[in-house]
Amino acid sequence: DEIDDDVIRMHLYAPDLPDPDLIIRTSGEERLSNFLLWQSAYSELYFCEVYLPELRKVDLLRAIRDYQRRKRRFGS
């Protein structure tokens, strides 16, 4: 059998979901911790100091507003 992008994708976490446009990383850490490495290649990353249990609606809205202001280049 030949290994290609589709074969790899089918063995990833949540293969039926589309790649995320935005990944919000909480707790002040500025890294992905090897989470969704393949799927996050063209994702926009947003880092916030708040820990996940304390994430509020206003924090989520800030992340979305920041994302909306970005010009996505998809790796270029």
| SS3 call for 45 | strand
Q: Which residues of the chain have pLDDT under 50?
A: none
Radius of gyration in angstroms for the set of CA atoms belonging to the chain, rounded to a whole number? 15
Q: Which two tokens stand for residue 69?
A: 């202001």
Using DSSP, state whether 57 is helix, strand or coil: helix
Q: State the pLDDT at residue 25.
A: 97
Q: What is the pTM of this model?
A: 0.84
